Amino acid sequence: MTDLWRDPAAPADARVADLVARMTLEEKVAQLSGVWGVDPDVGDMAPMLRDGMGEMAPWAEVIADGLGQLTRPFGTEPVDPVAGARALAERQRQVVAANRFGIPAQVHEECLTGLNAWQATIYPSPLCWAASFDPGLVERMAARIGADLRSLGVHQGLAPVLDVARDLRWGRVEETLGEDPFLAGLVGAAYVRGLEGAGVVATLKHFAGYASSRAARNMAPVAIGPRELADVVLPPFEMALQAGARSVMNSYTDTDGVPAAADPALLTTLLRDTFGFTGTVVADYFSIAFLRTLHKVAESTEEAARLALEAGIDVELPSPNAYAGPLLAAVAAGRVDEKLVDRALFRVLQQKCELGLLDPGWAPAEPAEVDLDSAEARQLALEVARRSVVLLANDGTLPLAADRRLAVVGPRADTHEAMLGCYSFPMHVLVHYDDVDRGVEIRTVREALADGFDVTYAQGCPVLGGTDEQIAEAVAAAAQADVCVAVLGDQAGLFGGGTSGEGCDVADLRLPGRQEELLEALLATGTPVVAVLLVGRPYDLSRQVDRLAAVVCGFFPGEEGAQALADVLAGRVAPSGRLPVSFPGAGSTQPSTYLAPPLGLRNEVSTVDPTPLFPFGHGLSYGAATWGSVDVVTGSRWPTDGACELVVELANDEERSVSEVVQVYLHDVAASVVRPEQQLVGAARVDLDPGARARVRFTLPADLTSFTGRELVRIVEPGAVELRVGASSADLRAVLPLDLVGPSRQVGTERAMEPVVVVEHL
């Protein structure tokens, strides 16, 4: 007779309950942590980690009672995919053989720009996903990433990052989906659907408030009120949970003195009791140990384990530390209730049950062939990159005429690293392996432009530093050219290893190093200068923008980014990206986002002007859709428990295809609490061939107008509102006054968070 927990036909909760009842305390605790290799040298990747991890026990000892997770078997060092899959399979067989229930480990990897592994496709950064304003494309990309993960025997991906960018000086802006919670949620939910649809557990990061740290410093304290938390920070997580995410990772920061890793109000009361989350909460790497070493809220590792377990962290990552001997000692001494261990264990085993890891006959993946950078994947990476390039300004110099002699200069012009964010494998891992090739083909902007143009190259200066002689070389090249393409931007890195990335925060938003000096010298030549920005955050170009011929932003567009940029510059592809983050104006005033209330905008009571140079949602092209009528066809009365229908007519009168992003913003005329001047509630990308027409229908539920009221509950409040419809937050084509009518209505996590959008091609 088969034990109940081994019966695939039995309900998962019954199977897990049967298994938990059979396990010793040691076997239970063994399921609550991962192992990062056997003894990986992680010290080069980030500081303070050794202290957080402690000494690693021998492998046989680690797995004697079972193992919860295997940490990054492909994402820690360069591993041939086939050899890596075989090694992982052997490791899994050892785990199964070592514990008396034969339970394999759950395997996780980073997947922020694709599977973070050697020879795997490097997709554009999350800022690029958001700039595409194309959730369907992002979902396709995530499904491809998920398929690659599954093919190797990986069960869980640590993405997407749903932190809403609040201060552009923060190093991890490049990992976010921008400054708007609706857009972040829309695109993040699409990524979750793609990954989860491929059978991979999506892990939402970082819950919650990580990007709201004081002075934009990594892991610094957070000081925000409950309304900002509820209305700005949390909605992307809610949308992604509605999309089916099965895991959540805690934030490193503390909010008002309480670290997220030790906050039961956040990880249990809010996440589980209010949001209804039933998956696993995994610790951001070393965050349980950090309760002792950095936050100083625990005197011992044992106390850190107690605080985290009580708060609701189910799995310690990346390796056993607190959820090992210290937790066992605390339970044995009665300082931690074993029921808390069982609570976490139940969630861990239920997820393993969902993944088939408790089924009889389970066997690890062991593919004979692996292609992690297929032609299909590269084409998809190119499509996302092309869709995400943003044309910020253009005096007609772009697209470049075929006979133009180009001076391609700047620190990002001739390096593959310019395309890559800090969580891409080359920048995250390969920087520590000088003798290993990149594993995938990545062209530079100079190489891509040389295919169709007469190109002269000079670096001008590195990202940081440089000499007068280097700048003079670039100036000489520009003076002899018809057009100068100045490729500027960031070096992605970790913890001071770059100008953008985790732990690479900045004090101001001037271009790094001598790049602004280089740009001024190039402008002085009189040659038209096209600035191409390959950056992890927006920078202040207010002193140069009026003298630049054009400005193009690529953020970190991945392995096909150079081709995408060359296609846009040459006119083979029309730019169609839109800004998910505002570009700052003069003075780089931060923090500042378009979500500011009236007194946070330019006004007469302050001499500081926070008006952005390029606003949220902005993006130009080589042709534009013709806007027709913009109407609310359901009338001016919008029931607080109903919906209104907005219809936008578009046409393409150009000789080339155009792509428009219709953006719908809500303005609350007068509310019971201070509200943003406007906020995005709907967006639709519409592609039109020459001569084509389309009708876009938005069905907007009144739930989209909800906010956290004075009693700190979310309400739909009656009163006058406006729908502002346009091509960006500053380029509005219609303002439609409406009256929300009916009683004030309380709403919760069941509320509709997205409009229904239908594009009818006529």
pLDDT at residue 52 in the model: 46
Domain co-membership, 593 together with 722: no
Domain co-membership, 427 together with 303: no
pLDDT at residue 413 in the model: 98
Cα gap 514→427, rounded to integer Å = 22
Residue partners of 155: CB distance under 8 A and separation at least 6? 106, 107, 108, 149, 200, 201, 355, 357
Residue 726, token pair as written in the block: 């346009």
Domain co-membership, 666 together with 582: no
Q: Backbone phi, then psi, for 735, in 5-degree steps?
A: -125, 115
The predicted model gives 96-103 an average pLDDT of 96
More confident residue, 56 or 705: 705
Domain co-membership, 695 together with 580: no
pLDDT digits (tens, 9 = 90+) for 224-261: 999 999 999 999 999 999 999 999 999 999 999 999 99
The predicted model gives 494-522 an average pLDDT of 96
Distances (CA, A) of 642 to 566, 673, 697: 47, 22, 16
Confidence at 448, pLDDT banded by 50, 70, 90: very high
- Picking from 254, 257, 256, 260, the residue whose alpha carbon sits closest to that of residue 282 is 260
Which residues on neighbouring strands pair with residue 537, listed in sequence order?
none
- Edge-to-edge order in the sheet of strand 483-489: 390-394, 550-553, 529-534, 483-489, 405-409, 454-458
pLDDT digits (tens, 9 = 90+) for 584-594: 997 777 788 89
| CATH number of the domain that residue 754 is part of | 2.60.40.10
pLDDT at residue 57 in the model: 75
Among the three residues 327, 354, 381, which one is the final residue of a domain in this structure?
Answer: 354
723 part of a folded domain: yes
631 part of a folded domain: yes
526 part of a folded domain: yes
pLDDT at residue 54 in the model: 55
Domain co-membership, 585 together with 656: no
Distances (CA, A) of 23 to 31, 346, 531: 11, 12, 62
Percent of the chain whose predicted confidence (pLDDT) is above 90: 93
pLDDT at residue 603 in the model: 87
Q: Does 49 have pLDDT greater than 50?
A: no
More confident residue, 15 or 600: 15
Residue 10, token pair as written in the block: 């039995």
H/E run at residue 392: strand 390-394
- Picking from 166, 280, 281, the residue whose alpha carbon sits closest to that of residue 220 is 166
Cα gap 593→580, rounded to integer Å = 11
Residue partners of 188: CB distance under 8 A and separation at least 6? 160, 162, 177, 204, 236, 239, 240, 243
DSSP string, 147-179: HHHHHTT--EEE--B-PPP--TTSGGGGGS--S
Percent of the chain whose predicted confidence (pLDDT) is above 70: 97
As a dihedral over the C-alpha atoms of residue 60, residue 66, residue 71, residue 76, rounded to 10 degrees, the angle is: 10
Domain co-membership, 342 together with 236: yes
pLDDT at residue 1 in the model: 57
Instruction: Please give the span between the terminal C-alpha atoms of the chain, in angstroms, as a whole number.
Output: 63
Domain co-membership, 554 together with 698: no
Cα gap 191→172, rounded to integer Å = 19
Q: Does 362 have pLDDT greater than 60?
A: yes
Q: Does 499 have pLDDT greater than 60?
A: yes
Query: Residue 341: how many CB atoms within 10 A of its CB?
Result: 23
Amino acid in the structure at residue 428: H
pLDDT digits (tens, 9 = 90+) for 624-677: 999 999 999 999 999 999 999 999 999 999 999 999 999 999 999 999 999 999
| CATH number of the domain that residue 180 is part of | 3.20.20.300
**Number of separate domains in the chain:** 3
pLDDT digits (tens, 9 = 90+) for 534-570: 999 999 999 999 999 999 999 999 999 999 999 999 9
- DSSP at 90: H
Domain co-membership, 79 together with 134: yes
The predicted model gives 498-522 an average pLDDT of 97
pLDDT digits (tens, 9 = 90+) for 577-622: 999 999 999 777 778 889 999 988 888 888 888 999 999 999 999 9
| CATH number of the domain that residue 485 is part of | 3.40.50.1700
- DSSP at 731: -
Domain co-membership, 48 together with 122: yes
Domain co-membership, 71 together with 26: yes
State the maximum Cα–Cα separation within the chain, in Å, rounded to a whole number: 85
279 part of a folded domain: yes
Mean of the per-residue pLDDT values of the chain: 95
Q: Which domain holds residue 592?
A: 389-600
Confidence at 41, pLDDT banded by 50, 70, 90: very low
As a dihedral over the C-alpha atoms of residue 475, residue 477, residue 483, residue 488, rounded to 10 degrees, the angle is: -60
pLDDT digits (tens, 9 = 90+) for 116-173: 999 999 999 999 999 999 999 999 999 999 999 999 999 999 999 999 999 999 999 9
Site of tokens 């953020």 = 555
Among the three residues 332, 354, 376, which one is the final residue of a domain in this structure?
Answer: 354
| Contact yes or no for 620/576 (Cβ under 8 A) | no
pLDDT at residue 407 in the model: 98
Cα gap 265→592, rounded to integer Å = 29
Confidence at 56, pLDDT banded by 50, 70, 90: low
Domain co-membership, 659 together with 572: no
